[in-house]
Chains A and B, each alone.
Chain A
Amino acid sequence: EAGVTQFPSHSVIEKGQTVTLRCDPISGHDNLYWYRRVMGKEIKFLLHFVKESKQDESGMPNNRFLAERTGGTYSTLKVQPAELEDSGVYFCASSLGAGNTIYFGEGSWLTVV
C-alpha cells in the first residue's frame, strides 16, 4: 500500500513567484495535515483537514498560504507570492482518525531565492 506521497520533492523559486505543493494521503485516510520545518527548527503544524473541510488552520502563517482539499482526496498548498522566509521543508501527513497513527510523507523542500 502506498504511503503519503508529496510532489515536488524539491523546488527552487524566486521571491514573488508562486509554488503549489501537492499531497496524496494514504488511501482511506480522512485526516490530512500540513506541517513545516524551517532551518532545522521544530516541525510546526500548519493546518488540518477532515475530508474536504478545514478543521484547524491556526498554524497558517499568513494569507499568502492557501490550502485546499477538493473532494476530500489529495490536497494542495499554494504559496503566493513566495517570500524568503517561506523556505523550508513542507510535510504532509495523514491518519485514519484523529486518534490514530499519523503517517508522514517525505516532504517537499522549498527554497525561495
Chain B
Amino acid sequence: DQQVKQNSPSLSVQEGRISILNCDYTNSMFDYFLWYKKYPAEGPTFLISISSIKDKNEDGRFTVFLNKSAKHLSLHIVPSQPGDSAVYFCAAQSLGSGNTGKLIFGQGTTLQVKP
C-alpha cells in the first residue's frame, strides 16, 4: 500500500518553460512534504519542503503547492534549465509523538529539460 504516489514516470519540457511535477498522498496525518532531486550515481539531495499547515512555499525558481483537501502537492520550476534534468522524488514525513521522522517516498519522476 503506497502512501505517496507520483503517477508520471517522466516529464519533458523546453528550457525556459515551466515544469510541473505532481504528487499524491493518502495519509492525512503527514506533517511535512519534501522534494528531493537525484542525479545519476548520486544520492538524493533536499530541494524544498512545505509544512502541512501551509499551502505554498517558494524558494527561488522552485515553488511547492499543497492542496490538503485533494491530498495533492506539486513542484513548479520556473524557468526550467537543462541542469534541472534529474529524478525528482516527492516524500512525506510525520513528526508527531511516536514518529521517527522517516521519509516515505514516491516512485520518482524523471524530468528532462531540453535546450
Are A and B associated in one complex? yes
Instruction: Report A's interface with B, CB cutoff 8 A.
Output: 4, 31, 33, 35, 40-45, 48, 50, 55-56, 59, 91, 93, 95, 98-99, 101-107
The smallest C-beta distance from B4 to any residue of chain A, in angstroms, reads: 8
Q: Taking chain A's interface residues, is the majority helix, strand, or loop, or is none over half, making it mixed?
A: strand
Closest to B90 in A: A42
Closest to B9 in A: A40
24 A-B contacts (beta carbon < 8 Å): A33-B103, A35-B103, A35-B105, A40-B108, A41-B107, A42-B89, A42-B108, A43-B44, A43-B89, A44-B105, A48-B100, A48-B101, A48-B102, A50-B100, A55-B100, A56-B102, A95-B101, A99-B101, A102-B103, A103-B46, A104-B36, A104-B43, A104-B44, A107-B42
Instruction: Report B's interface with A, CB cutoff 8 A.
Output: 2, 4, 32, 36, 41-46, 89, 95, 99-108
Query: Cβ of B32: which chain A residues have Cβ within 8 Å of it?
Result: 99
Q: Taking chain B's interface residues, is the majority helix, strand, or loop, or is none over half, making it mixed?
A: loop
The smallest C-beta distance from A72 to any residue of chain B, in angstroms, reads: 16
Q: Which of A40, A42, A50, A91 contacts B106 (CB 8 A)?
A: A42
Query: Cβ of B44: which chain A residues have Cβ within 8 Å of it?
Result: 43, 91, 104
Q: Which of A31, A40, A45 contacts B104 (CB 8 A)?
A: A45
Closest 3 CB pairs between A and B?
A: A98-B101, A104-B43, A43-B105
The smallest C-beta distance from B19 to any residue of chain A, in angstroms, reads: 20
Closest to A99 in B: B95
Whole-angstrom CA separation of A105 from B108 in the bound complex: 18
Contact B46 A101 (CB under 8 A): yes
Whole-angstrom CA separation of A22 from B43 in the bound complex: 15
Contact B100 A98 (CB under 8 A): yes
Known A-B contacts: A45-B104, A48-B100, A106-B41. Give 13 more (CB < 8 A).
Answer: A33-B102, A35-B105, A40-B108, A41-B107, A42-B107, A43-B103, A45-B102, A98-B100, A99-B32, A101-B46, A102-B101, A102-B103, A106-B42
